[in-house]
Amino acid sequence: MLEWTGWDFITRPVEADESRAVSESPELYVSRLAEMKARAAVHPLNKMGAADLILAADTTVADGNRVLGKPLDEADARRMLLHLRDRSHEVFTALAIYRVSDHRWSFDRCRTLVAMRDYSDEEIEAYVLSGDPMDKAGAYAIQNKTFHPVTGFNGCFANVMGLPLCHLVRMMKKIGIVAPVETALSCQQHLDYDCPVTRDVLAGLDVG
C-alpha cells in the first residue's frame, strides 16, 4: 500500500513486545505500539545512514475493550472469526513518524467501524485452512474476495487493511513533505472504492 503513495522506501522489521498493559484501551495500545516500533528502528537506521524519515504503524481489531491481534494458531483464528461473525467491531491503526534530521515526532490514529456478515462454519474452516488469517489482526482481510467477510463499514477502507493513507499524507504534509502522486485517488483506484471520508481527513477533521 505504501507504494501507492509514490514515495521511495525501504522496509525494516523490528522487535517489539506487543503485550497489552492492564486496563490499556485499544486506542492507547495501538498508539503505544506504533511509537515503540518507530523508536526501535531509530538506532539501526541512524547507524546505517539509510533514511531520514521513519514510519511505523500498528493495527488492531477491538470489540469494546477486547483487543484481537494476530491469531496465535489456526484454533485461535477460528475463535476470532466466530466471535466477530454477524457483529460490528472497530479497527484502529496508529501511525508514528520520526524525522532523524530534526528529531521531530508526529502521531495520528484512524478508527473504522466494521460490520461482519453471517458467514458459515464451513466458510470459516476453508478460510483458516487457506492461511490468509494468520498474519491479520482479527484473523481476517477485508480485501479477501473469496471469503469477503465484511458487509459494510463506516470510515477508511485502507485503515482496515492496515495503512490509512490519507492520514499518512496529511501527517507528511505537516512536516513539509508532499506525496509525488495524488495518493487518495491512487488508493481509491487500487481498492475500487469511492471513499466518503477522504476530503474530511485531508482537511484535518477527526474522521475515518
pLDDT category of residue 90 using cuts at 50, 70 and 90: very high
> Looking at residue 50, what is its pLDDT?
59
- Catalytically annotated residue among 8, 52, 58, 86: 58
Q: Which amino acid is at 158?
A: A
Please state at what angle helix 74-84 crosses helix 121-130, rounded to 10 degrees.
140
Which CATH number describes the domain made up of 2-202? 3.90.950.10
pLDDT one-digit tens code per residue, 187-197: 999 998 899 99
pLDDT category of residue 52 using cuts at 50, 70 and 90: confident
Rounded to two decimals, what is the model's pTM? Answer: 0.90
pLDDT one-digit tens code per residue, 3-13: 999 999 988 88
> Looking at residue 60, what is its pLDDT?
93
For residues 153 and 142, what is the distance between their CA atoms, to the nearest angstrom? 10
For residues 103 and 138, what is the distance between their CA atoms, to the nearest angstrom? 34
Average pLDDT, the chain: 92
For residues 117 and 156, what is the distance between their CA atoms, to the nearest angstrom? 18
Q: Is 58 a catalytic residue?
A: yes
- Lowest-pLDDT range of 28-37, 46-55, 140-149, 162-171: 46-55
Nearest to 68 by CA among 115, 29, 17: 29
